[in-house]
Amino acid sequence: MSRYNTRSARPRAADPITTTGRTTTHEGGAAYTRDTRGELLMLAVVNMVGNDTFYESAGVRDDRFTALVRTLAVEHPAWMVEFVRWLRGEANMRSAALVAAAETVKARLDAGAPAVPGYSRLVVDAALQRADEPGELIGYWTSHYGRAIPKPIKRGVADAVRRLYGERSLLKYDTASKGYRFADVLNLVHAAPAADKPWQGELFGHALDRRHHPDEAVPSAALRMVTANAGLRAAAASDPRVLLDADALAAAGMTWEDALSLAGARVDRAELWSALVPSMGYMALLRNLRNLDEAGVPDHVAAQVAERLADPEQVARSRQFPYRFLSAHRAAPSLRWGHALDVALNASCANVPALTGRTLVLVDTSASMTSPVSARSQVRHVDVGALFGAVLARRGNAVDLVGYADGQFEHRLTRGGSVLRDIEAFTARIGEVGHGTETVAALRAAYRGHERVVIISDMQAFAHPGYGGRSSGGTGISVSDAIPATVPMFGVDTTGYAATSIEVGTPNRHEIGGFSDRMFTMLDLMARGRDAGWPWEHARD
């Protein structure tokens, strides 16, 4: 009789995250502690810096993040550079990457770590991907550690300045509302112009002039966009209708905020928005659908916007979190954006795999999942769970989508329906089965010989006094032990608390996290029995 060479034999995948000990969840359930790098990864991909969560205050959460960064900055500096580069890039977590970079420098300076081979400088440069971020990083450093800027910060910021400072970014980000203007950054880090950007010297000089002598600052002829912007502003003072010229707005790099401010109530808002639309970026369009509706832009302009929103290439370049499309859908008063946003949401989930065989997808609808992902968002953790649950269900060949709290409910999708409507229908059932987090009970009730289980939750399960599995400190059976050990279980963590319900790193027990569909690249790898590695390692393949 064959023991190993069977039809059901699968390769065993390795998870980069491992658990190191036993603990309890915030609700007293059996839980596990992750290794330091795993805990930082799971926290960073969901950490909206300065925001409370259901179980952790902003201060406690940010302190935990900082402590993890400081430990790894000394113990694994090369790993930190790759981590921060991925965090700001593929994971698109801006504030977390900035804090991680600054705290890496601080930790290495405090520890007396050697400057060679320049990890601190590299991690700073890796965190800065937008032209307003050098000022943001310096603002963070000075507010926490004073005005003395260490050399690694200066050199890393100078590297970023050469990459990021240009005419358009000067017009967009160098505003009086900023504590550190472009000129202030240049004065602090003494960045020389990039060798391949001969015009950058003129730009730096103009940034200094407009900061220190704004009434006398006149851009050189080499700065065509800045010159056009100054001319358009001057013309708009006497005749605001010049702002209705779409080509002039684009040539002047005029932002929608500036155009609206300059125009005031002197021009028709629908005409002004119609002129702005061709030169607006993808994110600006997505966030202004309500304004476009309220201004009454005509349908042919709305159709142009919808076409851009639904363009898969533009969706990919925008790197928007999938839940942003849900947020835009909920904010827009009209229905004319619905189809485009649904197409865009699906395009933003390009990395969500089609899973062969039968898959059980459990989405946590407990009270803790109804908290928003950030203080400025109306999207909740349960909305993110419903979104990925619905997308997984539509991609899979045979997916059972189940919501759970104190009890469970099976949710059937409408054939040929919309993911946006799927989300709204699913979340309308919140409270139907209570508000607790009975993950073990949900697994035992819903599991019916599926080939894999995906749990989307904050991983803070209630204690369950089950039998047949191991217990931990009187907290009952573990989520990891609620189904056979041979069945792959994937936890999708939406919040990143220190304790997790899944014993990650043991056979067939995996955890991923974040708001980007990139996390499902790892799910796909492990579902096919391949070692996932750290996310940035896969990005190089």
Residue with tokens 């991983």: 459
CA distance 183 to 293: 38
Residues paired with residue 403 on neighbouring β-strands, in sequence order: 363, 409
* 335 alpha carbon, distance to own chain's centre: 27
Neighbours of 403 (CB within 10 A): 28
Are residues 98 and 23 both part of a single domain? Answer: no
Residue 113 lies in a domain: yes
431 forms bridges with which residues in the sheet?
Answer: 434
Does residue 43 belong to any structural domain of this protein?
no
Q: For all residues of the chain together, what is the average pLDDT?
A: 90
Q: What is the pLDDT of residues 505-529, one digit of tens each?
A: 888 999 888 887 767 776 776 666 5
Whole-angstrom Cα Rg for the chain: 26
Q: What are phi and psi of 187, to 5 degrees?
A: -65, -35
Cβ contact 511:16 at 8 Å: no
Last residue of a domain, one of 170, 188, 222: 222
Pick the last residue of a domain from 195, 222, 249. Answer: 222
> Number of structural domains, the chain?
2
Q: What is the pLDDT of residue 538?
A: 65
Global pTM reads: 0.90
50 assigned to some structural domain = no
Q: Report the alpha-carbon distance of residue 440 to residue 314 in Å, rounded.
A: 41
The rounded Cα 248 to chain-centroid distance in angstroms is 34
pLDDT tens-digit map of 356-389: 889 999 999 999 999 998 888 889 999 999 999 9
Residue 29 shares a structural domain with residue 103: no
pLDDT at position 394 is 87
Res. 150 pLDDT band, cuts 50 70 90: very high
> Does one domain contain both 170 and 28?
no
Q: Is residue 72 part of a domain?
A: yes
In a domain, 457, yes or no: yes
368 and 508 housed in the same domain: yes
Is 331 a member of any domain? no
Query: Tell me, what DSSP letter sits at residue 461?
Result: P
Query: Do both 73 and 197 map to the same domain?
Result: yes
Q: What is the CATH number of the domain that holds 457?
A: 3.40.50.410
Residues 483, 411: one domain?
Answer: yes
Q: CA-to-CA distance for 99 and 40, rounded, in angstroms? A: 13
Query: DSSP letters along 142-157, please?
Result: HHHH-S---HHHHHHH
Band of residue 473 on the pLDDT scale cut at 50, 70, 90:
very low
Residue 317 lies in a domain: no
Regarding whether 117 and 26 lie in a shared domain, the answer is no
Residues 25 and 104 in one domain: no
Domain with 163, as residue range(s), is: 57-90+93-222
389 inside domain: yes
**Mean pLDDT lowest among 126-130, 226-230, 266-270, 476-480:** 476-480
Same domain membership, residue 502 and residue 402: yes
What average pLDDT does this structure show over 107-128? 93
pLDDT at 12 over 60: no
Residue 466 has pLDDT above 60, yes or no: no
How does DSSP classify residue 214? T
- What are the E-state strand segments in 338-460? 358-364, 398-404, 408-411, 452-457
pLDDT in tens, 274-316: 999 999 999 999 999 999 999 999 999 999 999 999 999 999 9
If asked whether residues 434 and 492 sit together in one domain, one would say: yes
Considering the domain architecture, whether residues 27 and 124 belong to the same structural domain is answered as no
Q: Are residues 428 and 486 both part of a single domain?
A: yes
User: Of the candidates 197, 222, 247, which is a domain's last residue?
Assistant: 222
pLDDT bracket for residue 1 (50, 70, 90):
very low
Name residue 21's beta-bridge partners: 33
